[in-house]
Structure 1
Amino acid sequence: MQAIYFDKGGASDVLRYGDVDTPLHCSDKQVLVRIKAAGINPIDCKMRAAPDRFPVTFPVIPGCDGAGIVEAVGLQVQNFKPGDAVYFSQPGFNQRQGTYAEYVLVDAGLLAKKPLSLSFEQAAAAPLILITAWEALHDRARISSGQTVLIHAGAGGVGHVAIQLAKLAGANVITTVSSEIKAIFAKKLGADKTINYKTQDVIEEVMHLTAGKGVDIAFDTVGPSVLQSCFSCVKTYGDVVTILQPAADTNWSDARIRNVRFSLELMLTPVMLELEDAKQHQGEILQHCTALIDERKLAIEVAQTFSLSEAAAAQDMLEQQHVPGKLVLTVDK
């Protein structure tokens, strides 16, 4: 089969496009999927740049998100059959391969039926960001109706679905953006207020919008400096969730004094640690989101598509341009 792979870490020029062995045999709880499209995520670039940080095997086929057609199922798989259109997120950890390929073996618990209303390209853009946003807001922060939530980078991949999930939960949403175009995009998704972090002081604006109380939940999708500011934006006894590694010099004093509940969100954990119940939970999240998408309550924004052979250019765009929505690889097969 054709695939994107690399034999060493580095910049995007280490990516190769060529023939690799096609996976053929499903274990009892696996499904063989013929990939129609693969989503591109920042984790793909991090794995390429520093593969030693992850449990991967060379040559590495990158990619977590995929959408395609079931080709074969293992003996214990009951919920899927050949011909089903599915989507999923599975990192290429612990002897697995990623999704930048024509075929991939997937743990059945991670799979869900593809939303009927989405193309394969749209579906491939969705799983990692849906699971990340869902786990952060529902599983970590325990979001509830009537709360006010601050979502950083609301025009980004995780941010743009987090806005929608928060609104579906009945929350009031404040989000940060870097331009008027992105502000319009975020408001279209349901954001109640936007803050341009390039021209406005985020902490001051949040305090103004919440009458000095702070938000119930602050969701960091950016990194250390934004996480630090979250502790000043959240109310006493509020929640802060981040999807990034906190910096070693993070100042926790504000969070400690105000009794903030802090959570880390890493949707890669179930596969990394081989947690079967957690894999099943992620598949169930996608099943629930399938219903929301087909009911037109949840939208996925695809910024641009590339052919599989253009994976290096796609990763370069992701790292350099920060476009609204997601980038996707199409697999012609």
Structure 2
Amino acid sequence: MKAIMMTAVGNPDVLALQDIDEPEISTATQIKVRLKAAGVNPVDTKIRRNGLLYDNPLPVVLGCDGAGEVVETGSAVSRFKPGDKVWFCNGGLGREQGNYAEYTVIDQRWASLMPESSSFIEAAALPLVLITAWGALFDRGGLQAGQTVLIHAGAGGVGHVAIQLAKLKGAKVITTVSSSQKAEFAKAMGVDHAILYMQDNFVDAVNGLTGGKGADLVFDTVGSDVFKESIAATAHFGRLVTLLDPGELNLVEARMRNLLIGFELMLTPMLRDLHEARDKHVEILKQCAQWFDEGLLKTHISEQLALAEAAKAHESIEAGHSIGKIVLTL
């Protein structure tokens, strides 16, 4: 089969299209999937640039997000049959095969039926970002109806679905974006207020929009500097959740505000084989499939590229200008 192999640690040109053996079912509960599309996420580019998350040799196939059609099932599979359309977040970290390939094998426990109304491309774009946004907003952030949440980078892959999930919860949503185009996009996703952070100080803007209170929850998808600045935009007794390492912190003001600070790394259950936590991920996909079919949830695909163009996809993500998601088609 054709697959994109990460042949070394380095720039996007280490990604090479190669012919490799098709994976085969090795346990009774596995399914074999003909992949139709693979989502591309920032974690893929970080692994390519910094190295695998397991102590395994190269080359490997990257890509955590996949969508495709079941073509074969193990003898004990009860959830799926050949012809079923499935989506999942599995592999691509340096142990199990990732999804930049024509076929994959996955335990039935970690797959879910795709939304009936979605294309393979839409489905492949969503699993990692949906699970990440859900964990940050609801599990770590405890977001409730009527609260105000600040979601940084609302036009990004995680940000644009986080806006929709927060609105489905009944929250008031503020976001930061870099351009008027991205502000209009965020408004189309349902955001109440979009702050152009290159023109306006987002802390002053958030405090102005909340009568000086600050946001009940701040969701940082950007990094250290934004996290530190966000302390002053978080309400007293509020919550501040980040996807990234905030670095060295002066937490005097956070302590004075009695903030709960949380971290969301949706890869942890895969990396540490926390099976019950991964079961929760599958339940999230089932709920989001229902919302997608009801027209309450959508995704935006900024680029749809052929499998052989994986390096171009990585270049686009690292340039930082993408709106929504980038997907490889097979």
* 1:61–1:92 CA contact under 8 A, matched in 2: yes
| Number of the residue aligned with 1:229 | 229
SS in 2 for 1:96: coil
How many angstroms does 1:29 deviate by?
Answer: 3.2
Counterpart for residue 105 of structure 1? 105
Structure 1 pair 170–241 and aligned structure 2 pair: CA distance change class (3 A)? same
Amino acid at match of 1:328: V
Distance in 2, matches of 1:11 and 1:66, equals 23
Classify 1:17/1:321 alpha carbon distance in 2 versus 1 (closer, same or farther; 3 Å): same
User: CA separation in 1, counterparts of 2:64 and 2:163?
Assistant: 22
In structure 2, what is the equivalent of residue 241 of structure 1? Answer: 241
Unaligned runs of 5+ in 1: none
Which residue matches 1:293? 292
Q: How does 1:298-309 map to 2 (within 5 A)?
A: 298-309=297-308
- Kindly tell me: are residues 196 and 220 of structure 1, through their superposed partners in 2, closer, same or farther at Cα, counting changes over 3 Å? same
2:322 and 2:263 map into 1 onto residues whose CA distance is: 25
1:190 aligned onto 2:190: yes
Checking the alignment, whether the CA contact within 8 Å between 2:64 and 2:93 is kept in structure 1 is no
CA drift of 1:56 comes to: 4.7
Q: CA deviation at 1:55?
A: 4.9
* Distance in 1 of aligned mates of 2:95 and 2:53: 15
Alignment partners' CA distance in 1, 2:145 and 2:55? 39
* Residue of structure 2 in register with 1:142 after alignment: 142
CA shift, 1:163, in A, is 0.2
Letter of the structure 1 residue corresponding to residue 317 of structure 2: L
- In structure 2, the CA distance between the partners of 1:313 and 1:239, relative to structure 1 (3 Å rule), is same
Where 2:241 maps in the other structure, the secondary structure is: strand
Quote the residue 2:168 is aligned against: 168
How many corresponding residue pairs? 330
Query: What is the correspondence of 1:1-333 to structure 2 with a 5 Å cutoff?
Result: 1-93=1-93, 95-247=95-247, 249-331=248-330
User: 137-146 or 160-169, which moves further after superposition?
Assistant: 137-146
- For 1:51, give the aligned amino acid: G
CA contact (8 A) 1:4 1:15 kept: yes
TM-score (norm 1): 0.96
Cα distance between partner residues in 2 of 1:94 and 1:278: 20
**SS class of match (1:288):** helix
1:52 CA displacement: 4.4
Contact 2:38–2:121 at 8 Å: present in 1 too? yes
Moved over 6 A (4+): none
| 8 Å CA contact retained: 1:91, 1:268 | no
Amino acid in structure 2 at the alignment position of 1:39: G
Residues 47 and 54 in structure 1, CA contact (< 8 A), matched pair in contact too: no
Q: 1: distance between equivalents of 2:151 and 2:243?
A: 12
Pick closer, same or farther for the CA change 1:118–1:57 going to 2, 3 Å: farther
1: CA distance, partners of 2:72 / 2:15: 29
Gaps of 5+ in 2: none
For the residue of structure 2 that corresponds to 1:175, the secondary structure is strand
Contact kept in structure 2, 1:12 and 1:316, CA below 8 Å: yes
CA separation in 1, counterparts of 2:114 and 2:285? 9
Report % sequence identity: 48
Inter-partner Cα distance in structure 2 for 1:322 and 1:182: 10
* TM-score where L is the length of structure 2: 0.97
Against the structure 1 CA distance between its residues 56 and 99, is the aligned structure 2 distance closer, same or farther, given a 3 Å change threshold? farther
Let me know the Cα RMSD of the aligned residues.
Answer: 1.3
